[in-house]
Amino acid sequence: MRVVLVGPPGAGKGTQAQFIASHLAIPKISTGDIFRFNVSTGTELGRQAKAFMDRGDLVPDEVTIAMVHSRLQETDAQAGFLLDGFPRNVPQAETLKKILIEWEIRLDIVLELVVDDDEVVRRLSGRRTCRRCGHVWHVLFDPPARPETCDDCGGELFQRDDDREETIRHRLDVYQQQTAPLISFYADEGILLGIDATGPVEEITDRSLSALRRFIC
Ligand code: AP5
């Protein structure tokens, strides 16, 4: 199955992606995670992406598309994938469509996680990520037992540079201007499904999986 998750920053894409991908036994491909890994390991790709990410702007399309094109050719993505954070604008969506047509495959479904801006700010300002295993926590909604330490692996927790309130607001503007047009793009393709992304994490996963089942059957 080939799935795209779309939604504003903090909608819970990364949180849901891990459960949905694991349930469907397909790899989760998160462009944000790949960029952050490259920034933290000091690669040329990370160097190119860092300034854009710190400002909350999109990394240029040619860099992002080349990275995704290469990742989708890896063995684990041949039987399906879940894309989290890509495509992020209409040109990326059009390029993805062309690539998939060339490979004679297609997207099955695009899940839109729907939440309002106030909830986004609440979620992102309390997010903490483990430096070692990448697990995402929230200081109020999903707190670890000890504030600075990951329950899963004992790693140190940190706050992302782009989770400062002013950068969050800018990311929301970027979402409205550049990413929201994808909603009508995929609605026109007949593969868009909106999911209410408020409430407990497990309920949102259940809603997403039920919607996927209904859509496929
Ligand atoms: P990316 O990492 O994709 O950031 P984003 O889209 O802004 O999304 P986030 O990771 O901030 O949020 P999320 O929706 O995954 O929420 P999460 O599950 O963590 O991209 C970062 C940057 O990389 C971009 O700004 C750009 O520069 C670059 N980039 C990436 N892709 C690109 C592309 N295609 N083109 C160009 N540039 C690109 O949840 C957030 C918090 O809420 C967590 O603490 C979580 O525990 C909590 N939470 C989750 N669900 C719930 C719930 N139901 N109730 C309460 N709390 C919850």
**Model confidence pLDDT, tens digit, residues 49-58:** 999 999 999 9
Of residues 168 and 215, more confidence is placed in: 168
Most ligand 1 atoms within 8 A of CB, residue of 4, 15, 58 to mutate: 15
Pairing of the two strands 81-84 and 136-138? unpaired
Cβ atoms within 10 A of the Cβ of 177, count? 11
3-state SS class at 205: helix
What pLDDT does residue 43 have? 97
Tell me the average pLDDT across 10-29.
96
160 classed as catalytic: yes
What pLDDT does residue 192 have? 96
The string of pLDDT tens digits covering residues 94-140 is: 999 999 999 999 999 999 999 999 999 999 999 999 999 999 999 99
Local confidence band at 214 (pLDDT 50, 70, 90 cut-offs): confident
| Atom 55 (ligand 1) nearest CA | 141
SS (H, E, C) 85-106: CCCCCHHHHHHHHHHHHHCCCC
Q: In the predicted model, is pLDDT for residue 215 greater than 90?
A: no
Say what the pTM is.
0.94
169 classed as catalytic: no
Q: Which helix (H) or strand (E) holds 195?
A: strand 192-196
User: What torsion, rounded to 10 degrees, do the Cα atoms 96, 21, 31, 140 define?
Assistant: 140
CA 201 to CA 169: how far, in whole Å? 23
Q: In the predicted model, is pLDDT for residue 65 greater than 70?
A: yes
Atom of ligand 1 nearest to the CA of 88: 34
Atom of ligand 1 nearest to the CA of 60: 36
Tell me the average pLDDT across 79-105.
98
The string of pLDDT tens digits covering residues 200-212 is: 999 999 999 999 9
Most ligand 1 atoms within 8 A of CB, residue of 5, 6, 13, 195 to mutate: 13
Q: What is the mean pLDDT of the chain?
A: 95
Tell me the average pLDDT across 176-185.
98
Q: In the predicted model, is pLDDT for residue 27 greater than 90?
A: yes
**Of 27, 30, 34, nearest to 48 (Cα)?**
34
Q: Where are the beta strands (DSSP E) in 70-190?
A: 81-84, 109-114, 127-130, 136-138, 157-158
What pLDDT does residue 217 have? 64
- Quickly tell me which residue has 């990370």 as its tokens: 46
List all residues whose CB is within 6 A of at least one atom of ligand 1: 7, 9-15, 31-32, 35, 52-53, 56-59, 64, 85-86, 88, 92, 123-124, 127, 136-138, 141-142, 162, 171, 201, 204
